[in-house]
C-alpha cells in the first residue's frame, strides 16, 4: 500500500513539473493578427510597455488596424504597418505616446540567458530583453530593463521625436539591436515568424500585404481563442543552456526562439 501511494505521489509530482515547463498565454495580453499571408500571434507585455500595449488593444478593439497595409517592408529587417494613410506619418485620433524604451523590474522577473559583470540578457515571458547588471539594483530591488530587437519582436513606430509613437507598429524579420532603447518594444510573436518573413517586400511594396483583422484574444469566444502554451521553467532553462553551449562566445539572446505548443 505504501509503495502504491509513493508511486502515485511521484506521478503527481512529475505531472506538476511537466506542466510547469509550459505557460499558457493570458488572453487579455494576446493579439491575433490575421494577414494575407497567415496569422501572427503576439504575446503583449504591459510590464515592459503599459501605454503601448493599452494603445494597441484600444486600436484593435476599435477596428482601426483592420485592412491596413504593410506599407514599408525591408527584407532582413522590418515589416511596418498601422498607419491609416498606409504610409509613414499617419496617426490615429488618439494622442501620441511618450517613449517606453526602458522600465524597472526585479531580476527574478527575467529568465536569464547570459550574464556578465556589466549586464544580463534573457526573457520576460516570450520577449527577449537586456538589462543592467544585477549588482546595480536599486533599494527597491529593481534594475533597468529594455526590449531586445530580435526576430519576431514587435515595436512601436515613431517619427524623429521620441514621443511621437501613436498607431504604427512594426515586426522584426531579423535582429537589429541598434534599435534597442530607441523604439518601444511591446511584445513578441509567439507564432507567425514565418508569416512576418513572408510579407511582401518594398518601400512601398508593389503588391502589399495587409492586416485583414486584428483582435485581442480575450474578446473572442472561448472556442476561437488560440490555445497556445510557451515553454518555461526548467525546460526553458535547459533549452537556453543547450543553445548557449552550441553557440559558444557568439551566443546572444537573439539566437533563442521559444518553443510553443497548442494545448488540448
Longest CA–CA span in the chain (Å) reads 73
CA distance 20 to 25: 13
What are the average pLDDT values for consecutive 10-residue runs of the chain, which has 264 residues?
44 46 97 98 98 98 98 98 93 97 97 93 97 94 97 97 98 98 98 98 98 98 94 95 94 94 84
3-class secondary structure, 212? strand
CA distance 142 to 196: 34
Which pTM value belongs to this model?
0.92
Give the CA dihedral 64, 202, 44, 47, nearest 10 degrees: -110
Taking the C-alpha atoms of residue 30 and residue 40, their distance in angstroms, rounded to an integer, is 10
CB 86 within 8 A of CB 69: yes
Q: Nearest 10 degrees: CA dihedral of 32, 36, 48, 96?
A: -110
- Dist CA 117 CA 134 (whole Å): 9
Helix (H) or strand (E) holding 216: strand 211-216
Are the C-beta atoms of residues 82 and 67 closer than 8 Å to each other? Answer: no
Is residue 35 within 8 Å of residue 209, measured between CB atoms? yes
List, for residues 44-85, the tens digit of each pLDDT value. Answer: 999 999 999 999 999 999 999 999 999 999 999 999 999 999
Distance (Å, whole) CA 181 – CA 208: 29
| pLDDT tens readout for residues 245-260 | 999 999 999 999 889 9
Q: How would CATH label the architecture of 26-219+229-262?
A: Beta Barrel (2.40)
Please, are residues 30 and 41 in contact by the beta-carbon 8 Å criterion?
Answer: yes
Residue pair 149/185 in contact by the 8 Å Cβ criterion: yes
- In three-state secondary structure terms, 104 is strand
Amino acid at each position: 500500500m505504501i509503495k502504491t501511494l509513493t508511486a502515485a505521489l511521484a506521478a503527481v509530482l512529475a505531472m506538476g513539473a511537466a506542466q510547469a515547463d509550459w505557460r499558457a498565454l493570458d488572453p487579455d495580453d494576446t493579439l491575433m493578427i490575421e494577414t494575407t499571408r497567415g496569422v501572427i500571434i503576439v504575446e503583449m507585455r504591459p510590464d515592459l510597455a503599459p501605454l503601448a500595449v493599452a494603445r494597441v488593444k484600444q486600436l484593435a478593439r476599435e477596428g482601426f488596424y483592420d485592412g491596413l497595409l504593410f506599407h514599408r517592408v525591408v527584407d532582413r529587417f522590418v515589416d511596418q504597418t498601422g498607419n491609416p494613410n498606409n504610409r509613414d506619418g499617419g496617426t490615429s485620433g488618439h494622442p501620441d505616446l511618450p517613449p517606453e524604451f526602458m522600465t524597472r523590474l526585479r531580476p527574478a522577473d527575467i529568465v536569464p540567458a547570459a550574464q556578465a559583470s556589466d549586464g544580463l540578457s534573457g526573457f520576460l515571458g516570450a520577449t527577449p530583453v537586456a538589462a543592467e547588471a544585477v549588482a546595480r539594483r536599486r533599494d527597491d530591488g529593481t534594475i533597468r530593463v529594455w526590449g531586445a530587437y530580435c526576430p519576431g519582436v514587435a515595436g512601436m513606430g515613431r517619427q524623429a521625436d521620441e514621443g511621437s509613437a501613436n498607431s504604427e507598429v512594426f515586426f522584426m524579420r531579423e535582429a537589429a539591436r541598434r534599435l534597442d532603447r530607441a523604439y518601444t518594444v511591446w511584445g513578441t510573436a509567439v507564432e507567425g515568424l514565418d508569416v512576418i518573413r513572408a510579407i511582401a517586400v518594398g518601400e512601398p511594396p508593389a503588391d502589399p500585404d495587409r492586416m485583414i483583422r486584428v483582435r485581442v484574444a480575450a474578446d473572442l469566444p472561448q472556442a476561437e481563442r488560440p490555445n497556445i502554451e510557451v515553454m518555461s521553467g526548467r525546460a526553458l532553462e535547459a533549452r537556453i543552456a543547450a543553445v548557449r553551449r552550441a553557440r559558444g562566445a557568439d551566443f546572444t539572446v537573439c539566437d533563442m526562439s521559444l518553443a510553443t505548443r497548442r494545448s488540448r
